[in-house]
Amino acid sequence: MRKITADLILPISLKPIRNGVIIVDDNGKILKLDDRRNYDDLELEIYDGVIVPGFINAHCHLELSHMKGKVGTGKGLIPFITDVVTKRAASESEISTAIAKAEAEMIKNGIVAVGDISNVTDTFAQKAKGNLRYYTFVEFFDFLQDDNAQVEFDTFKAVFDALEVGEGSKKSLVPHAPYSVSKSLFKMLKEANAANDKNVTISIHNQELKAENDLFETKTGNFIKFYESFGISLNDFEATGESSIHYALENMNPNHKTLFIHNTKSTIEDIQAAQRWGGENVYWVTCPNANLYIENSLPDYRHFIDTNVNIAIGTDSLTSNWQLSILDEIKAIAKFQSYIPLEMLLRWATVNGAEALGFDDTLGSIEVGKVPGLNLLNIGKDFKLTEKTTVTKLI
Ligand SMILES: [Zn+2]
């Protein structure tokens, strides 16, 4: 048993507690929240700073960890995707070593669960060790080729079937992005998920760049050339006249929790359309450092705050980030959009991600009965985040 105290405890689900004590058992389960005056200092672990729940990384591609530093910054998403597709190959040991190292980095940075995209089986051995709770989103795409949907479905379904999820982890079959998934493939995914689990969570990359909207609104823009360069025909594709998210909404199940990833180019109208579609099941996941790395732009968070929607935070992969740290994502948002209160950012980083992944049974908030992990932030009494703020994993 440990009795842990700091200047401030931020349970997230409850009001902040000054000079509170958290009592945990040997497995990290919260037994009691109490007041420091009820204890002798000698029986307490006393820290300077703020204690928050373990962080949830709502979007990662652990299997791309070996590509750290291989793709330059600021080139834009389309050259980025081309680089990922063409430079991905590496030896098995190089890939697995990088995956283990990246997971260790996340743990050190106070991350306790991950929503992780898989196109291949490379991460499955590491996930089987049970070091973190993973929601594995096995990701499907057919580059909008209805004729090819069944072949691609079968390929990625084999990846899905190869994953044995350990206790506390989950998996689902997800579409990559509106611009890369045909209607036929969307339909197959919807049916397969309905057959698997009622409480499924889905993830889809959304509106990461202007070209995505251009393709759907007017069949113009940089995706036309991208497809041509891979020898893929868009002859059968017709513009819908609406932004790309509408195509996704028409082809997905609003009864499933759905994580929209990136949303850099989402307008208030797009956000409202998705909210009308899925309501509380909709989560908007932001990966600010990846947006800065690839496109050098951020979503306008005011649109999401003003519409009072669920927001969570992800790191994306080491191919498009300098590190895997939710604290560094919070710092990036705070640096460029400093009007957002720290407490709100910490909510995005903890309980919202836990709910999005369906892991809020044990994670996301410091509550009796949960096993959320405890992170110490060396923030002073003014509760101000600075460049120097660090995270220390206490549990
Ligand atoms: Zn991604």
What pLDDT does 72 receive? 85
Instruction: State yes or no: pLDDT of 85 exceeds 90.
Output: no
CA of 154 to the centre of ligand 1 (A): 22
CA of 74 to the centre of ligand 1 (A): 16
| pLDDT confidence bin for 187, thresholds 50/70/90 | very high
CA of 362 to the centre of ligand 1 (A): 25
% of the chain with per-residue pLDDT over 70: 100
Averaged over 367-382, what is the pLDDT?
94
| pLDDT confidence bin for 84, thresholds 50/70/90 | confident
Amino acid at 118: S
Instruction: State yes or no: pLDDT of 75 exceeds 90.
Output: no
Bridge partners (DSSP) listed for residue 8:
18, 50
CA of 176 to the centre of ligand 1 (A): 9
CA of 258 to the centre of ligand 1 (A): 14
Instruction: Give, in degrees to the nearest 5, the angle at Cα 136 between 131 and 140.
Output: 155
d(CA 387, CA 335): 9
CA-based nearest residue to 103, from 87, 126, 121, 83: 126
CA of 184 to the centre of ligand 1 (A): 22
What pLDDT does 380 receive? 83
| pLDDT confidence bin for 196, thresholds 50/70/90 | confident
d(CA 354, CA 115): 10
CA of 316 to the centre of ligand 1 (A): 5
What pLDDT does 254 receive? 95
d(CA 27, CA 44): 18
Averaged over 198-212, what is the pLDDT?
94
CA of 234 to the centre of ligand 1 (A): 24
CA of 205 to the centre of ligand 1 (A): 6
d(CA 138, CA 132): 17
Q: Per-residue pLDDT tens for 282-300?
A: 999 999 999 999 989 999 9
Instruction: State yes or no: pLDDT of 381 exceeds 80.
Output: no
Q: What Cα–Cα distance (Å) separates residue 219 from each residue in 64, 206, 225?
A: 30, 17, 11
| pLDDT confidence bin for 81, thresholds 50/70/90 | confident
CA of 269 to the centre of ligand 1 (A): 23
CA of 284 to the centre of ligand 1 (A): 13
CA-based nearest residue to 253, from 326, 310, 202, 324: 202
CA of 287 to the centre of ligand 1 (A): 9
Torsion (CA) 173, 176, 181, 187 in degrees, nearest 10: 20
Helix (H, G, I), strand (E, B) or coil at 275: helix
Task: Look at 3-12, 102-111, 126-135, 382-391 and tell me which has the smallest mean pLDDT.
Answer: 382-391
d(CA 101, CA 6): 30
CA of 72 to the centre of ligand 1 (A): 16
Q: Per-residue pLDDT tens for 148-158?
A: 999 999 999 99
What pLDDT does 120 receive? 97
Task: Look at 23-37, 49-63, 177-191, 227-241 and tell me which has the smallest mean pLDDT.
Answer: 227-241
What pLDDT does 379 receive? 93
Task: State the chain's mean pLDDT as an integer.
Answer: 96
CA of 209 to the centre of ligand 1 (A): 13
Instruction: State yes or no: pLDDT of 108 exceeds 80.
Output: yes
CA of 264 to the centre of ligand 1 (A): 13
What pLDDT does 199 receive? 85
Instruction: State yes or no: pLDDT of 60 exceeds 90.
Output: yes
Averaged over 333-361, what is the pLDDT?
96
CA of 42 to the centre of ligand 1 (A): 47
Averaged over 96-122, what is the pLDDT?
98
User: Greatest CA separation found in the chain?
Assistant: 75
CA of 262 to the centre of ligand 1 (A): 8
d(CA 291, CA 354): 22
CA of 195 to the centre of ligand 1 (A): 25
What pLDDT does 153 receive? 98
Bridge partners (DSSP) listed for residue 135:
115, 170
pTM of the model: 0.97
CA of 331 to the centre of ligand 1 (A): 20
CA of 259 to the centre of ligand 1 (A): 11
What pLDDT does 317 receive? 96
Pair of tokens at residue 372: 């959320």
Q: What Cα–Cα distance (Å) separates residue 270 from each residue in 221, 240, 278, 371?
A: 20, 14, 12, 36
CA of 273 to the centre of ligand 1 (A): 22
Pair of tokens at residue 246: 């509408």
Q: Which residues contact 169 (CB under 8 A, 6 or more apart)?
A: 127, 130, 133, 134, 135, 136
CA of 60 to the centre of ligand 1 (A): 6
